Chain A
Amino acid sequence: MSWGVRGMTVRFGDHTALEGVSLEVPAGRVTAVVGGDGAGKTTLLRCLVGALAPDDGEVRRPDARRIGYLSSTSGTYPDLTVEENLAFSATAYGISEAETRERAAAFLDRTGLTEARDRPAGNLSGGMRQKLGVIRAMLHRPELLVLDEPTTGIDPVSRADLWWLIARAASEGAAVVLATAYLDEAERASWVLALDDGRALAEGTPDRIAAAVPGTIRTSTARPSGDAARRSWRRGARWRTWSPDGAGDAASQGDPVRPDLHDAVTVAALARELERSDVGGEAA
């Protein structure tokens, strides 16, 4: 069964948070929604789970009993212990006590939370709380698991644990959708939707998005000057410059690189930005 949204538009007053966005989320696949702050990731996820009603478009989602959701906060009760949080969620979703105990024990053990199971969620570190939030969201074997920035601000070890949980949910047949601002992380997903200012910037498998970058990207130690400066960005210690037609300009002095998802999304955002400024320039 495939869930998702089609032609979805959401407005908050005069501000359009999402415009005509579509996304298919089939069972067993991890889909990453990437974008910067204010790109519309949370709005899309909230519509998908039914916390927000869109102004236009269609949402296909399973019954509430078969949705798992981690909001941008961890969604756990700070004054309840890890076990109490899980027990509350299990009761709300109607899972048997035996199944809850078995699944919770396995997940807590795998993610290093067993020792903390009697601690109030409010006393856990950010990473532990997020892991608890994801375990809570997937405890009832949802068909659609929606996670809003589960790994933001989390250390690499906890992040690996979180990805184990995400992969486990997908292997159990859940359609997993997660929002993230980290492009390196989105590369681990099977499908990526990049959003920019409420609109879809690129969509596909990470490889396909990377392969579809038009022109050439070159890397250099110094920032190029002139017009090429508008098409360059820093990545690590070096600069990258995109030439839409691949022809020589200042950027051609650098070495060409094979673009990855990070480059592809940056180029897509740059292209849109340049198009906007050119149209604006012509209008002026």
Chain B
Amino acid sequence: MIVKEFRQLRRDRRTLAMLIFMPILMLVVFGYAASFDVKEIPVRVLGPAAERVSAVLPDPFAVEDVDPAAGREEAVTALRDGEVPVVFLTTESGLTVLVDGSQLFIATGTKAAVSAIAERAPQGLAVDVEILFNPDLETSAIMVPGLAAMILLFVGTIITSLGVVRERQAGTLEQLAVMPLRPADVFLGKIAPYFVVAALDMVVVIVAGIWLFGVPFRGSVLALALGAVLFLFVTLGLGVLISSVSENQGQAIQLALMMLLPQVMLSGLIFPLSSMPAGVRWIGYLLPLTYFVEIARGVMIRGASILTLWPSYVFLAIFGAVVFGLATLRFRRSLAPAGRRRHEAEPELEAVAS
């Protein structure tokens, strides 16, 4: 029995690769990326005493910009647009630290660091911490947009990945291939239901989040919808791509999980990107979920507009074009007569009467 299991395992190369690759992936993800400790907080220092304050700011604050001429309005704009998570605003009466509440761990880290500074500071220095967008630092406020993103990823990738492979296993894919349907019809027919289901799921989660947990929705619905559509194209394309390279549903699930795990861990959905070492953080910037989480949180919690979040939309559009294009090509191949796949360079020998 043991020998038989080992023999079967050896033949199932994909599972074997997964058994070896997964622990390494988990080690990298959890070892490096899974950290709630914020080691560096990028800040902007504004107001009349900006120069003086920026010179003495201790770690973990890293001054990115100093502007003595700017005031509160500029500070709020910078936070809403996601340019920095923290702004030190100096005024005649003292120092106000404005914090973006949509970045939970940075906000908590900032509060702790600022109280440490205040303890050490000379008597009479008033430091106020003002948390914007999510003043009570509610976890639900940041988790609901994240959850919406997760649902799109889950339905789009895992559920769709089972679609094509199920047809292959049931022997109906060949039936579809000889039916008078164009590959584009079959492709759209396969993904359209998942598109609708994922979109509905997302609406339900967001509406429930707003009603049950009081999660704010400050931005435009259209801005979120556009981001969701772009992200859905990426996830559905990924699902079809996985499906077209998998022999059976087990393999499809394995591959889909391998695509999902790094996205969930490294996209900033759970662990803040800023707390990851640079060596791992760049992986996060290669993952589509990172950009949709940015859009969902930006639009819902901070009320950011498309104009300020445009790089995320552009990245999603690029991911979408590449993944969807590859998925379409692979899918066409799945439906093409098998011989043409074997001998693509061979001349066409068939004569099809019309």
A interface residues, Cβ below 8 angstroms from B: 1, 3, 10, 12, 46-47, 49-65, 67, 69, 71-78, 89, 92-94
CA distance A60 to B350 in the complex (A): 8
Interface size on B, residues (CB 8 A): 23
CA distance A133 to B126 in the complex (A): 81
- Mark each residue of chain B from 320 to 353: 1 if its CB lies under 8 Å from any CB of chain A, else 0: 0000000000000000011110110010011111
17 additional contacts (CB under 8 A) given A46-B174, A50-B177, A59-B351: A1-B353, A50-B337, A50-B352, A52-B338, A53-B338, A53-B343, A53-B349, A58-B350, A61-B353, A63-B180, A64-B178, A71-B174, A74-B171, A75-B174, A75-B175, A76-B172, A77-B170
Chain B hits for A61, CB < 8 A: 352-353
Using known A-B contacts A51-B178, A73-B170, A77-B172, determine if residue A60 contacts B353 with beta carbons closer than 8 Å: yes
Using known A-B contacts A92-B179, A93-B180, determine if residue A75 contacts B172 with beta carbons closer than 8 Å: yes
Q: Is B8 an interface residue (CB 8 A)?
A: no
Determine whether the beta carbon of B352 is less than 8 Å from that of A53: no
Determine whether the beta carbon of A56 is less than 8 Å from that of B349: yes
**A-B pairs under 8 A by CB, number:** 85
Using known A-B contacts A69-B175, A71-B174, determine if residue A54 contacts B349 with beta carbons closer than 8 Å: yes
CA distance A71 to B179 in the complex (A): 12
Q: Is B181 an interface residue (CB 8 A)?
A: yes
CA distance A74 to B172 in the complex (A): 8
Chain A hits for B180, CB < 8 A: 63-65, 92-94
CA distance A54 to B337 in the complex (A): 9
Q: Is B93 an interface residue (CB 8 A)?
A: no
Q: Is B354 an interface residue (CB 8 A)?
A: yes
CA distance A54 to B347 in the complex (A): 11
Determine whether the beta carbon of A92 is less than 8 Å from that of B339: no
CA distance A92 to B174 in the complex (A): 14
The distance from the CB of A107 to the nearest CB of chain B, in whole angstroms, is 18
Using known A-B contacts A73-B170, A75-B171, A75-B172, determine if residue A63 contacts B352 with beta carbons closer than 8 Å: yes
CA distance A75 to B171 in the complex (A): 6
The distance from the CB of A175 to the nearest CB of chain B, in whole angstroms, is 12
Chain A hits for B343, CB < 8 A: 53, 55
Out of B174, B349, B353, B354, which one reaches A51, CB within 8 Å? B174
CA distance A59 to B178 in the complex (A): 15
Q: Which residue on A lies nearest to B341, using beta carbons?
A: A53
Chain B hits for A93, CB < 8 A: 179-180
Chain B hits for A51, CB < 8 A: 174, 177-178, 337-338
Chain B hits for A62, CB < 8 A: 353-354
CA distance A133 to B354 in the complex (A): 25
The distance from the CB of B347 to the nearest CB of chain A, in whole angstroms, is 10
CA distance A138 to B123 in the complex (A): 92
Determine whether the beta carbon of A58 is less than 8 Å from that of B337: no
Chain A hits for B181, CB < 8 A: 92
Determine whether the beta carbon of A67 is less than 8 Å from that of B178: yes
8 pairs of A and B residues whose beta carbons are closest in the complex:
A53-B339, A73-B171, A64-B180, A75-B175, A65-B180, A53-B337, A53-B340, A52-B338
The distance from the CB of B9 to the nearest CB of chain A, in whole angstroms, is 26
Determine whether the beta carbon of B339 is less than 8 Å from that of A64: no
Q: Which residue on A lies nearest to B344, using beta carbons?
A: A53
**Contact residues, B131-190 vs A (CB, 8 A):** 170-172, 174-175, 177-181
Determine whether the beta carbon of A55 is less than 8 Å from that of B339: yes
CA distance A67 to B352 in the complex (A): 12
The distance from the CB of A178 to the nearest CB of chain B, in whole angstroms, is 16
30 of the cross-chain contacts (CB-CB < 8 Å) are A1-B353, A12-B342, A46-B338, A50-B337, A50-B352, A51-B174, A52-B337, A52-B338, A52-B339, A53-B350, A54-B349, A55-B339, A55-B349, A57-B349, A58-B351, A60-B351, A60-B353, A61-B352, A61-B353, A62-B353, A63-B180, A63-B352, A65-B180, A71-B174, A71-B175, A72-B171, A73-B170, A75-B172, A92-B180, A92-B181
Q: Which residue on A lies nearest to B351, using beta carbons?
A: A58
Q: Which residue on B lies nearest to A92, using beta carbons?
A: B179
Chain A hits for B179, CB < 8 A: 64, 89, 92-93
The distance from the CB of B291 to the nearest CB of chain A, in whole angstroms, is 35
CA distance A59 to B352 in the complex (A): 7
Chain B hits for A73, CB < 8 A: 170-172
Determine whether the beta carbon of A54 is less than 8 Å from that of B172: no
Q: Which residue on A lies nearest to B338, using beta carbons?
A: A52
B346, B350, B354: which has the most chain A beta carbons within 10 Å?
A: B350
The distance from the CB of B199 to the nearest CB of chain A, in whole angstroms, is 23
Determine whether the beta carbon of A71 is less than 8 Å from that of B171: yes
Determine whether the beta carbon of B353 is less than 8 Å from that of A54: no
